[in-house]
Structure 1
């Protein structure tokens, strides 16, 4: 695999960073925009908001999935980092781009929204009676569900799946919103919460919307890779924890989108073909 320095010198790296900016920008403008119409928390409005966010995520993934993998969410990026699918440098740049996209989107959304309807600009805050601990738990669970869906969609060894994978991921977002929007606003995405918070200067319990989703995302990624994945095994988990080098391929993209691979290795990583149906220890591969 390319080193971080080689990666940052490539045009594709910067295209991927820009793609994450654009994808998160679209999510915030259209998704958060559905919450700034003087809505009240009745069932019809909740369904509207849930569908808006879910379809925005699906659309953004379709647009940029072939370039960056379509993370558009720091929690997804952190899950990819912890499971060694992307480098630390790529993860940092993706998160920065996602946050800047969200801030830009929230700023433009405020500019084009009539002042009488701006309200809190979709800022995620805990509902009355919901403690920060409860909010953390809710955000953890719904984001873990989202990341499990993302990793399942990225599993090329799954022959039982069909249909639109971006739309499947969007449905996971819809489900999270249908349950959690009345409790926490259903962030599932730290960047989505950061944009409106900065523009509106509302920081109440903001840590919940970073720690909860990122923890849930990391747990979801590790759970899928080491227990639920097609090639999960005890030996793979052992090498993940103990091998000094455990290189996986770049961030897996959706099956419906072309994967970026290292042509010099014929699409395989140097030590570990993460998407192989059979796991081989790094020590067993001749170099």
Structure 2
């Protein structure tokens, strides 16, 4: 994960002619589609209502699987909040970010349509649409969505930091676990969307738009805040300067 320094590269218009870009876009469609299909499917109860633990682990596991499977193609964003965090931190271009967000929304919409077609009419309910918990107002919901998405995006940036050499293959698992943890804590409040596309898909199919702005504004705010904080405060030091500092530290402490 390297930062884009050149302004022309940051705009990214040249990426429109590259096959790799469109492969990445396709990966975001498929990844977000499968994510939304599993997440929303886990929210549908047949004989008994699903438990919070069931939903939380379903979400965390599918996120882990999609990041592991497609991370080498597109980075495995599968979430507009992650993409916008990467954009403001200059890790993806403007063009790529726009393509990713459109792809994620298309994937989520396709997943919700598929789920509706696969689920018996009397079992569909709201197709897993995220809704505010009893007594939770929109301001509180915004805060919850901001915080849980902050956790997710902070984890993404931490495990994808190219300056670190202590993260050895555990990145997708850490990301999946951050999602599981947030769902375990936030499901009763907002349904724990932490992904605008995941809420957009079922909203279109069911027509349930109540408080929908919360599921865009909260995650996007949390994602951008986490991206900026990690990039400018928590990012690992450059290897060369870090090694030099450690070498100087050793010299200072070994001289008689």
Is the shorter-chain TM-score for this pair beyond 0.5, marking a shared fold?
Answer: yes
- 2:137 and 2:220 map into 1 onto residues whose CA distance is 19
**Structure 2 portions without partners, runs of 5+:** 1-5, 242-256
1:100 to 102, 106, 109: 106
- 1:278 and 1:79 map into 2 onto residues whose CA distance is 27
- 1:208 and 1:23 map into 2 onto residues whose CA distance is 23
Q: How many residues align?
A: 232
TM-score, normalised via structure 1 length: 0.78
1:178-197 aligned within 5 A: 178-197=184-203
1:168-207 aligned within 5 A: 168-207=174-213
Q: Which has the higher helix share?
A: 2
Task: After the TM superposition, list the runs of 4 or more consecutive aligned residues in structure 1 that deviate by more than 6 angstroms.
Answer: none
**Structure 1 portions without partners, runs of 5+:** 232-275, 280-287
8 A contact 1:32–1:53 mirrored in 2: no
8 A contact 2:196–2:215 mirrored in 1: yes
Partner of 2:138: 132
1:5 Cα deviation from its structure 2 partner: 2.6
1:156 Cα deviation from its structure 2 partner: 2.5
Are positions 1:17 and 2:33 aligned together? no
2:149 to 143, 148, 152: 143
- 1:129 and 1:5 map into 2 onto residues whose CA distance is 46
1:64 to 70, 81, 85: 70
Are positions 1:4 and 2:18 aligned together? no
202-211 or 148-157: which moved more?
Answer: 148-157
Cα distance, 1:125–1:84 mapped onto 2, change above 3 Å: same
- 1:40 and 1:151 map into 2 onto residues whose CA distance is 35
Q: CA RMSD in A?
A: 1.5
